[in-house]
A and B are shown apart, each in its own frame.
Chain A
Amino acid sequence: MVKYIFKRLGQTVIVLFFVSVIAFLLIRLAGGNPALLLAGDGATDAEIAEIERSLGLDQPLVVQYFKYIGNILRGDLGRSTSYGMPVANLILSRFPNTLKLASVTVLFGCILAIPLGIIAGSHQGTVIDFFATLFALLGQSMANMWKAVVFIYIFSVWLGWLPSIGMEGGIKSYVLPVMTLGWQMSAQVTRISRSGMIDTLHEDFITATYAKGIHPLVVRWKYAFKNAVCPVITLVGMRFGTMLAGTIIVEAIFSWPGLGQLLNTAVNQRDYALVQALLLLSGAMFAIINFAVDIINSLVDPRIKLR
């Protein structure tokens, strides 16, 4: 186990290295000379040269890279041109909002979707299976934008129950964005737990478990589901990672002050330092979540670390 953790940790570090290299090169590849970009239109050659020197752009790339990493480790992610403040502060103020939204969505999505998938998979072809499948189909086939608009229309405009903008409304503000994001996620989780259960319940060892006189609910929820849970954990991890990177559309529609909005602005305003930092952050989060998912899966399924 310890060996497996170290192996995966090593891989994660390598991934993090590549993510940082890509983020570092981005500003150099995407926009040509960053000094030109930073200086803005109409800057004189002398001004540009001055910026180049201050940024260390006259030094070799390797040196520049290590300086960049050094800055990051000191918490200096550069200055956002569009917001006119340090990128680090900007991210620190927005990240918690995205984290809260993503966590609540994952929590509710799983609480709903996993039992639904288990029950549907255990009773294939019944009414409940039909509705679970329908729920999943709708959740996956309707775009989030469309769902958001419908929800806003029904619950904010028509019924007037829930706010549709910002997060000042406390718990109430979460309902619509969580429903929008959560439906899509639970759709996938329902489907994958359902099909995992169907596959597992056909196995010989399940008949053998029933032959021990164990209650059917225990057989399904404990002895069968543990065999089906790894893909679910992987999927939830990936969805969580995606949402942590900021959900641009949903945050835009609900004016949710998170990373997605930040990224939207950064790209539109060609705010390279901010884009670079967000890219680095989402890459790093994915790598870390992946690592966590692999460790959890290897604890659940002993075959994984033997492979």
Chain B
Amino acid sequence: MEEMKKTQVSSEEKEVLVEIKDLSVTYKSERATVYALNGVNLVIHKGESLGLVGETGAGKTTTAISLLRLLPRNATITGGSIYYDGESVMDMTEKQIRQKRGDKIAMIFQNPLTSLNPVFTVGEQIAVLLRVHRGMNRREAMKAAGELLEQVGIASYRTGDYPGQFSGGMRQRVGIAAGIACNPELLIADEPTTALDVTIQAQILELMADLQKKRKTSLLMITHNLGIISELCQKVAVMYAGRIIEYGTVKEVFAHPAHPYTRGLLEALPNLEKKQERLHAIPGLIADSQNLPSGCHFHPRCEHCTKRCEKERPEMIRLNDDHYVACFAHEE
């Protein structure tokens, strides 16, 4: 009891670092328009680690790169706003946002095999951050890059090697070393472990948890692995078809999932304690973001779907201080 109160109080006192309000993003391709984000609302507090879960195509990466203002040219922000430390990201000048990237806000990319430049040494790819943001000269920066490699468990003499000389797991470590190089306020990790095998996954996660604790960085952890979230995060946001449909503390959401989709996700987890006959899978297809269902995007797959769900889109409802859900079933 005592402990519960404490965490509640502290989470309210925490300062807001990132606030995403009603963000909508579309991608134009030759034939179709992809509605990637459809009114995303999300808050990240200072020092907090937030897990963002959702199926493939839910819009997790899009959310992350919107925050860095790095959407590709075929993307349009059709509405909403993003605030970083009280400043509107969209109103920043090119120079202002550039000074944040890599320094205040760093990102570890989804695929370690494609996110390192193959013709530059890994040392250079870390050192450039220190040259640009810390004003170090070449030698200092390269030395610091070696120390960062050591921190993620790679020998420092390997700064002169190229990405092709590293395994997938090691490349992801290089990505992490680059991510923490400037001691960012916010670290975005986009599925940092999907490309890795299980034992290496565990190592990487441990490493990230360790680093986050030591450096008091805020973490936005993108994943579709709920296990990772329960280990690493205080808060969780569940995303479905470009919207956040449930948000709260990991404890609360995992114990009392309120949205049918979240319940489905949790049931789909293999449970080692209860001997299940077979895994549950959420019925139906992943939402097609080129052709979204009306009303609640989840309604075609929902067991509790009503007439209202087919027509109206549910807004976030507060269940308690630690738990919010976008589902009509929870309205009083």
Contacts and interface: CB of A to CB of B under 8 A. Distances in A.
Given A207-B70, A302-B164, A213 B132 contact: yes
B116 A207 contact: no
A155 to B, nearest CB: 41
A306 B117 contact: no
Given A212-B102, A213-B99, A213-B100, A204 B109 contact: yes
Contact of A209 (B65, B103, B117, B118): B117
B137 interface: no
B163 to A, nearest CB: 9
Given A212-B178, A213-B101, A213-B103, A205 B128 contact: no
Contact of B65 (A207, A212, A301): A207
Nearest to B116: A205
A213 B105 CA distance: 9
Given A208-B107, A211-B70, A306-B164, A300 B102 contact: no
B135 to A, nearest CB: 13
B162 A212 contact: no
Interface string B40-62: 00000000000000000000000
B117 A212 contact: no
Interface residues of B, number: 31
A296 to B, nearest CB: 13
B136 to A, nearest CB: 14
B245 interface: no
Contacts of B129: 212-213
Contacts of A303: 118-119, 162, 164
A191 to B, nearest CB: 21
A215 interface: yes
B102 A213 contact: yes
A227 B162 CA distance: 13
Range of interface residues on A (Cβ < 8 Å): 20 to 34
B68 interface: yes
Contacts of B234: none
A205 B68 contact: no
Contacts of A215: 98
A227 B118 contact: yes
Contacts of B106: 211-212
A212 B164 contact: no
Interface string B175-209: 10010000000000000000000000000000000
B156 interface: no
A211 B99 CA distance: 10
Given A212-B132, A212-B178, A301-B119, A204 B101 contact: no
A204 B119 contact: no
A204 B120 contact: no
Contacts of A211: 65, 68, 70, 101-102, 106-107, 109
A223 B124 CA distance: 11
Nearest to A206: B117
Interface string B235-278: 00000000000000000000000000000000000000000000
Interface string B93-127: 00000111111001101110011111110000000
Contacts of A208: 107, 109, 115-117, 175
B133 interface: yes
A214 B114 contact: no
B87 to A, nearest CB: 16
A203 interface: yes
Nearest to B72: A207
A215 B119 CA distance: 19
Interface in B209-245: none
Contact of A205 (B65, B98, B117, B133): B117
Given A212-B178, A213-B103, A306-B164, A204 B114 contact: yes
A302 B162 contact: yes
Interface string B69-91: 01010000000000000000000
Contacts of B133: 213
A301 B111 CA distance: 21
A227 B128 CA distance: 17
A191 B175 CA distance: 33
Interface string B124-148: 0000110011000000000000000
Contacts of B178: 212
B117 A214 contact: no
Nearest to A228: B119
16 contacts: A204-B111, A205-B115, A205-B117, A206-B117, A207-B72, A210-B101, A211-B109, A212-B106, A212-B129, A213-B101, A213-B103, A213-B132, A226-B119, A226-B120, A302-B165, A303-B162
Given A207-B72, A211-B68, 18 more contacts: A204-B109, A205-B114, A205-B116, A205-B117, A207-B115, A208-B116, A210-B70, A211-B65, A211-B102, A212-B128, A212-B129, A213-B99, A213-B133, A227-B118, A301-B119, A302-B164, A303-B162, A306-B164
- A-B complex: 9 closest residue pairs judged by Cβ atoms: A213-B101, A212-B102, A213-B102, A204-B114, A302-B162, A205-B117, A204-B115, A208-B115, A211-B107
Interface of A: 203-215, 223, 226-227, 300-303, 306
